[in-house]
Structure 1
């Protein structure tokens, strides 16, 4: 019962952090200018650029956060960001979103421990 309570608390805390990070995350000109033509084409088609995602996204005390775990979290965040991009006209900053999702996965893992 304690493990479940801790996991639920950690998930809630991670969602709060995700909300805060989403509100305070701002793109810089450097991040925006680093996007290449292929990623612009993929954004227009609605597909995220996943070519640069490694098999192991992060490692915490010898335990890996896999590409599959990352992609599961990233796909839902990308879909939400794409909807927001359509409404605002501002393209999705995929590199910032990928960094944010990876940081959140690490945070959740650390909170669970």
Structure 2
């Protein structure tokens, strides 16, 4: 069985992956905080939260150039996105459109499969050292002391260690693919200053004080780089979809 296509939303660092690689700008909702997820579970005014509707989901959700995307891959990705939308619905009062959400999640999985296939065709591989380094970065981004602690947290959310390692290896390969496609991402000081101004504005809205530019620089560099690689992913996916044989069954 192939590994799950998505790491738990509460733990994933902001890297180029499912939501970022969607061909539909509105397909990938941003991960909500754990507090928002909790409010979704409790429901507004103590009412029971809506449940994801998985009735009728076929065993083969989609097929991409002969590669099947199974129900087992679709369900955890869908449940994650549904949880995010359910949390948002507590504020808007509007129930998630599950039919539309299923199409969006299937589309995200198709895009990820296309990128995986492109990486394989280019001979891109993930070394053990690269996987270990990425795990350490993920642990740090999620304020955990070690990669082992990060893996343990994902185990509690239903993923085995082999699934985590396989998923991170996929991420490493996709990152390499987009780096090569971009020809090397260059980040200017002006771009960092613009991102910092946005950070200060967001902090002001929440009543918090933003850290200094220098303290934020590393985070800002990752943010700007991720945004640029997302753009590369969108362009690459348009080309890949032109020649791909894709069928979606939801």
Please, what TM-score do these two structures have when normalized by structure 1? 0.65
1:20-48 Cα shifts (integer Å, max 9, x gaps): 632799xxxxxxxxxxxxxxxxxx65211
Report the equivalent of 1:105: 109
Structural mapping, 1:50-61, within 5 Å: 50-61=54-65
Residue 52 of structure 2 is aligned to residue 48 of structure 1: yes
Gaps of 5+ in 2: 1-14, 30-47, 118-250
- Structure showing the higher helix proportion among its residues: 1
Residue 94 of structure 2 is aligned to residue 90 of structure 1: yes
Query: Could you say which structure has the larger radius of gyration?
Result: 2
Runs of 4+ in 1 over 3 A off after TM superposition: 17-20
* Cα pair distance change 1:111/1:23, threshold 3 Å: closer
Higher relative contact order (CA 8 A, sep 6+): 1
Gaps of 5+ in 1: 1-10, 26-43
What is the distance in 2 between the residues matched to 1:58 and 1:19? 16
How many residues matched? 85
SS at match of 1:22: coil
What is the distance in 1 between the residues matched to 2:23 and 2:67? 26
CA contact (8 A) 1:21 1:100 kept: no
